[in-house]
Amino acid sequence: DFQMTQSPSSLSASVGDRVSITCRASQSISLYLNWYQQKPGKAPKLLIYGTSNLQSGVPSRFSGSGSGIDFTLTISSLQPEDFATYYCHQSYSTPWTFGQGTKVEIK
């Protein structure tokens, strides 16, 4: 299986901050890396697919980068509605796997 490791597991930040979350794969997954946002009691929402493609309707303050084994989700200016848990997901090889999640909290 392809193991996905996110860091940090949690972070505290203020509105307006630039925030980055990293995801490392145990083996190369090319560009098959996707990012989701999940709020309490809700289903995950797709933010970024294929490493850097912004899903329709997602604000442009979200961006993704990387390739191979190292990937990054960046929020350029954190907004109140961005406080949530973020998951990376590799779709390169089954079993498809997720990172353990990064909780973004208000500082």
Partner 1 sequence: QVQLQESGPGLVKPSETLALTCTVSGGSNSNNYWSWIRQPPGKGLQWIGYVYNNGRTNYSPSLESRVTISVDTSKNQFSLKVRSLTAADTAVYYCARGDDSSWLSFDYWGQGILVTVSS
- Distance, in Å, from the CA atom of 26 to the CA atom of 101, rounded to the nearest integer, reads 16
- Say whether residue 55 binds partner 1 (CB under 8 A): yes
Pattern 5-34, partner 1, x by CB under 8 A: --------------------------xx-x
Cβ atoms of 85 and 102 closer than 8 Å? yes
| Degrees to nearest 5, angle at CA 99 with 74 and 107 | 50
- Say whether residue 103 binds partner 1 (CB under 8 A): no
Q: How many CB atoms lie within 10 A of CB 41?
A: 5
Closest approach, Cβ 15 to partner 1, in A, equals: 26
Q: Is the peptide bond before 95 cis (omega within 30 degrees of 0)?
A: yes
Neighbouring-strand partners of residue 90: 33, 97
Among 16, 43, 80, 81, the residue binding partner 1 under the rule CB under 8 A is 43
Tokens standing for 33? Answer: 């890396």
Span 59-98, contacts to partner 1 by CB under 8 A: 87, 89, 91, 94-98
Among 2, 49, 71, 86, the residue binding partner 1 under the rule CB under 8 A is 49
Which spans of this chain sit near partner 1 (rule: CB under 8 A)? Answer: 1, 31-32, 34, 36, 42-46, 49-51, 53, 55, 87, 89, 91, 94-101
